Amino acid sequence: MAASHLQCRECHTEYPLEALYVCERCFGPLEVAYSRPGVELSVAEWRRRIQAGPQNIWRYADFLPAAAPPGPSGRLNSRAGLPAGCTPLIRADRLAARLGLKEVWVKNDAANPTHSFKDRVVSVAATRARELGFETIACASTGNLANSVAAHGAALGMDSYVFIPSDLEEQKVLATGVYGTKLVGVKGNYDDVNRLCTELCAERDWAFVNINLRPYYAEGSKTLAFEIAEQLGWELPDRCVVPVASGSLFTKIAKGFEEWRELGLLEGELPRMNGAQADGCSPVASAFAEGHDICRPVKPSTIAKSLAIGNPADGPYALDLARRTGGSVDAVSDEEIRAGIRLLAETTGVFTETAGGVTTAVLAKLAERGEIDPEERVVLVITGEGLKTLDAVRGSFEMHTIEPTVADFEAGVPEPLTV
Amino acid sequence: MSVLVKIPTQLRAAAGGEAEASVEGATVQEVLDGLFQRHEELRVRLADDDGSLRRFVNVYVAGEDIRFLDGLATPVSDGAEVTILPAVAGG
Ligand SMILES: Cc1ncc(COP(=O)(O)O)c(C=O)c1O
Ligand SMILES: [Zn+2]
């Protein structure tokens, strides 16, 4: 497999593998297309080839759009930059038991260099940007992408410009500026930032990872699917619950599974795909509930700022995917998001940010509605780190402050109940 | 009423290389019609057969998405700026 060209998702017009993202004929989004390998590999040969790769997303280089990917394990390049991926897949029996399910796995993508799945997409986009000769990377971000672009700029020695809504969580602002990027806080919401950057993209010779490099960026999310399947022993899960902002991650995880099914690397049906949004920004969930195939944009108001995209460009594809696989797109309240963060933390030891609270809360909701067969193998895709959205848990528990004496401890701290 | 329409890079070739066009019209619909009259090629690229905008086309009046206003019926004032941009996913 090698990336061969870009192709319009709507009218299939072909374009070269350059910094292009929109079809000039119909304005549809461009996607990377691949040619089949000249030599047919057997399933066993494919698996060996992948397993011989480095412990990061470049083990899937055959399915990613870089002309000269960093190379096999052991070669210096494969570990240069800021290698993302190969995050843990955790068997979450205690979470499953709480929800009345039997087999739940947590894909913990907070375990990436800048603590979110965005390192996957940025690694691919930044690598391609360098190949195309760009010296500066940039992005419009709801926060996590900001961290990742700033860090990749530092790691690769590229200049970077990062545009964020000026009211983002302090943790996300600090974890961006520290890398020495040019950080721009825009007075407005993400959709305003995105519009500004789309305009700027035409005027500057920069690689905006999620605008003119978007086709390459989007491919990075497929590596989540590849890892999940590989970690499950080359098997597909029955269901994936995934957070949805623009809908890119959600749809590309399915694309990853599909590509491997076509090659014969995986057998069985595509998993049911369940998208997760916050009530305060649920254009895709609303369209799903109302049976529409396009999304009406909204003005976001939710604690899940990383998912606060009111005008989701991949919304139509996300709706189609949810329907086609027998999944859904659901939304949960800020209260449920906070409870979701606690539920995941208390049953798995994984502390996720608000986006993970959304995803966990949607899983809980589906389980409660009885939509999940207890025999199903479910994967909960946790995409970001709890330390980046501390406000969401502030005040949710009590700390016992005492004098350093045994007497004060015994008077002030309740003993755990013995069973 | 004269309105400034900002044309995205992807469409400039179809608009005689122009990055902006000054067009008459009192609503977004009238402005776009004016633009399409001048550059017929833009009509097929931006609008479906029934005349509605294609689903990946975003139009803004003074920076606000027209879907939050009155859609194609959104009024435009003299000297207003109408921006046409592709929808972009991933943030
Ligand atoms: C933590 C986290 N999860 C999920 C997403 C969803 O991404 P997408 O825009 O691809 O739907 C984002 C996007 O910013 C994010 O920051
Ligand atoms: Zn097209």
User: Does B87 contact A313 at a Cβ distance shorter than 8 Å?
Assistant: yes
Alpha carbon distance A289, A242 (integer Å): 17
The helix (H) or strand (E) run that includes residue A323 is: helix A315-324
The helix (H) or strand (E) run that includes residue A329 is: strand A328-332
| Smallest CA–CA distance from B60 into chain A, residue | A195
Give chain A's mean pLDDT.
Answer: 94
Amino acid at position A289, single letter: A
Phi/psi for A207 (5° steps) reads -95, 95
Alpha carbon distance A114, A248 (integer Å): 19
pLDDT of amino acid A77? 62
Alpha carbon distance A219, A27 (integer Å): 20
pLDDT reading at A64 higher than 70: yes
pLDDT reading at B29 higher than 70: yes
Place of tokens 């995880």: A253
Structure tokens that stand for B12 in this block: 């400039």
Domain A89-115+221-393's class? alpha beta
Alpha carbon distance B55, A23 (integer Å): 13
**What is the DSSP pairing of strand A2-8 with strand A239-243?**
unpaired
Give the residue, by CA position, lying nearest to ligand 1 atom 2. A383
Q: What average pLDDT does the segment A100-114 reach?
A: 98
pLDDT of amino acid B83? 94
The 8-class DSSP code of residue A92 comes to -
| Four-residue CA torsion sign, A289, A293, A297, A303 | positive
Per residue in A276-285, pLDDT (tens digit) is 999 999 999 9
Confidence of residue B88 (pLDDT cuts 50, 70, 90): confident
- How many structural domains does chain B have? 1
% pLDDT > 90, chain A = 90
Place of tokens 């929808």: B87
C-alpha to C-alpha distances, A103 to A109, A229, A282, nearest whole angstrom? 19, 15, 28
| Four-residue CA torsion sign, A132, A138, A141, A145 | positive
User: Does A211 contact B88 at a Cβ distance shorter than 8 Å?
Assistant: yes
Q: How many CB pairs under 8 A join A and B?
A: 92
Confidence of residue A36 (pLDDT cuts 50, 70, 90): confident
The CA angle A108-A112-A116, to the nearest 5 degrees, is: 75
Alpha carbon distance A284, A293 (integer Å): 9
pLDDT of amino acid A75? 55
Domain boundaries, chain A: 89-115+221-393, 118-215
Confidence of residue A184 (pLDDT cuts 50, 70, 90): very high
Q: Which residue of B39, B67, B88 to mutate against A (max A Cβ within 10 Å)? A: B88
Confidence of residue A38 (pLDDT cuts 50, 70, 90): low
Residue-range definition of the domain harbouring residue B7: 2-86
Phi/psi for A144 (5° steps) reads -70, -40
Q: What average pLDDT does the segment A66-73 reach?
A: 68
Confidence of residue A6 (pLDDT cuts 50, 70, 90): very high
pLDDT of amino acid B49? 87
| DSSP bridge pairs for A242 | A275
- Asked whether the domain spanning A118-215 has the same topology as the one spanning A89-115+221-393, the reply is yes
A374 three-class SS: coil
Structure tokens that stand for A68 in this block: 């000269």
Confidence of residue A414 (pLDDT cuts 50, 70, 90): confident
Per residue in A228-269, pLDDT (tens digit) is 999 999 999 999 999 999 999 999 999 999 999 999 999 999
Atom index in ligand 1 nearest the CA of residue A141 equals: 14
Alpha carbon distance A404, B2 (integer Å): 76
Structure tokens that stand for A220 in this block: 């990075």
The 8-class DSSP code of residue A42 comes to P
Alpha carbon distance A26, B57 (integer Å): 9
pLDDT of amino acid A413? 83
Does the pTM of the predicted model rise above 0.90?
yes
Give A366-370 contacts, CB < 8 A, sequence gap 24+. A366/A241, A366/A274, A366/A328, A366/A330, A367/A99, A367/A100, A367/A101, A368/A99
Alpha carbon distance A290, A299 (integer Å): 18
CA of A253 from ligand 1 middle (Å) equals: 12
Confidence of residue B73 (pLDDT cuts 50, 70, 90): very high
User: Does A297 contact B65 at a Cβ distance shorter than 8 Å?
Assistant: yes
Alpha carbon distance A234, A88 (integer Å): 15
Q: Which of B8, B83, B89 sits opposite A314 (nearest CB)?
A: B89
The helix (H) or strand (E) run that includes residue A321 is: helix A315-324
C-alpha to C-alpha distances, A322 to A151, A247, A274, A330, A363, nearest whole angstrom? 33, 11, 6, 10, 15
Cα within 13 Å of Cα(B26), Cβ side: 0
Residue among A203, A265, A249, A238 nearest A327 (CA): A238
% pLDDT > 70, chain A = 96
CATH of the domain at B71: 3.10.20.30
Atom index in ligand 1 nearest the CA of residue A318 equals: 11
pLDDT reading at A97 higher than 70: yes
Alpha carbon distance A361, A274 (integer Å): 12
pLDDT reading at A385 higher than 70: yes
As its CATH architecture, domain A118-215 has 3-Layer(aba) Sandwich (3.40)
pLDDT of amino acid A268? 96
Place of tokens 């905008």: B53
pLDDT of amino acid A417? 62
Could you give the residue ranges of the DSSP H alpha helices within A135-247?
Answer: 144-156, 170-177, 190-203, 214-219, 222-231
Q: What average pLDDT does the segment A331-340 reach?
A: 98
- Residue A77 CB coordination number (10 Å): 13
The CA angle A126-A130-A136, to the nearest 5 degrees, is: 75
**What is the DSSP pairing of strand A136-140 with strand A159-165?**
parallel
pLDDT reading at A73 higher than 60: no
Distance from CA of A60 to the nearest CA of B (A): 21
The 8-class DSSP code of residue A246 comes to S
Structure tokens that stand for A276 in this block: 């997760």
A300 touches ligand 1 (CB under 6 Å) = no
Structure tokens that stand for A212 in this block: 């003119």
CA of B48 from ligand 1 middle (Å) equals: 30
